[in-house]
Amino acid sequence: MNPHHHSTLWLLESQLAPYVDAYTQHLIECRYASHTTDYYLASIAHFAHWSTQCAIDVQRIDEKMVQQFLNEHLPYCDCAKPVHRVRHDLRAALGHLLVLLRTNAIIADPPIGMAPVDEELRRFNDYMNHVHGLAPRTRSQYLCIIHRLLFEQFADHPVVISAITPDNVRKFVTRQSELCRIPASISATISALRGYFRYRATRGDLVHHLIGVTSYPANWQQATLPKALSSSEIERLLGALEHEGPSARRTEAIVHCALDLGLRSSEVANLGLDDINWCAGTITLRKTKGHREDVMPLPAATGHAIANYLKFERPQTTNRAVFVRNIAPRDQPVGPDLIRKSIRQAYARAGLPYTRSHLLRHTMASRLLAGGSSLKEVADVLRHRSLNTTLIYAKLDSRNLAAVALSWPGSVS
């Protein structure tokens, strides 16, 4: 007998009973394994038992109610066994329940903040998105920082920029810096503040005195050499990709995209089947950091790795993304985090002491310079908006640096 059978009876006798079939079908469509479906049904059965005891109407179920169940009931749960108490499963199962109930208009969508600070942050987000074209991740980071500043200053009252003083900003930066592991991490806070105050300047506010007190920590540009893999390390990395195992071909294709094309993790994750022109041997990048489309030649090794993944390992799916999830929820593209994780695992398999996926992009630029490419050509391949961004690689251009180097005093010229 299913070990969760008795607790599932709680579900069938609760207000959630009419939605059990739809919930199960939702999990099947997401291609969850049958045992996972059983765990999730047992999880919402536990929630249904608790909500019934508390006389909570189904229309009142939301994120706040889920948190109350997890934080207030679960640690002290004395419900009769068998009952599912695994917090991770409960949170995931209830997340799917909220999606289902909202899809069927049983419960309302999450409330949109209407406080003055929320309205201000929405306008600032629109400005960052439509005027500066900042990436969603950057906008989210900046919004969290500015929310802390504004909420400390105004709470639920209207936002009045003229009420913020330079001393307020200094104290805020000091408090934020205490949360940073290294001094340079405060740069994100400074960038967010300067971006917000410049936004307010476009609306006619006098904020120059506030911008003036937001200075970046000392960080000498071009002070260090960009790290790159050596030729022997590249061979070790590529050699480590030739193994049999789960997601081996996907990892190989991901590493080649980063190493041969210099793609960022987000660009690899966003690749679509329609972006590859096999006949012309090109690949089109549509969702880039620069918000533009770029067509690049598809190297033979990269194309071969992607083709092997598509033919022999990629799950059957209607999703048009190149790289898709192997586990539920399936039929979904992978995210940048999984791209970075795959590259970290490839480093570890090769016995290399690295973790950053961006290292492969630096390696690609270094190989171009070593092969005789100019900085302008490197900038074009890396899709930098400004040539200044590419100048750091000038210090790796050994061929041209040797031509202008002066003889060491006292040496034979």
Residue 366: per-residue pLDDT? 82
Cβ-count burial of 282 within 10 angstroms (0-12 exposed, 13-18 middle, 19+ buried)?
Answer: middle
Q: Specify whether the CB–CB gap between 56 and 65 falls below 8 A.
A: yes
| Integer Cα distance of 140 and 120 in angstroms | 14
What is the reported pLDDT for 407? 60
pLDDT of residue 112: 63
All domains of the chain, ordered by start, with CATH?
5-103 (no CATH), 116-211 (1.10.150.130), 231-399 (1.10.443.10)
Residues 6+ apart with CB under 8 A from 154: 116, 117, 160, 163
Task: Give CA–CA dist 22/5, Å, rounded.
Answer: 19
Contact call for residues 229 and 237 (beta carbons, < 8 A): yes
| Helix-strand-coil split of the chain, %, nearest 5 | 60, 5, 35
The alpha-carbon radius of gyration of the chain (Å, integer) is 27
Query: In which residue ranges of the chain is pLDDT below 70?
Result: 1-7, 111-114, 181-184, 218-226, 289-291, 374-375, 384-413
Q: Which residue has the tokens 């200075």?
A: 215
Q: Is 369 exposed, middle or buried (0-12, 13-18, 19+ CB in 10 A)?
A: buried
- Residue 187 is predicted with a pLDDT of 87
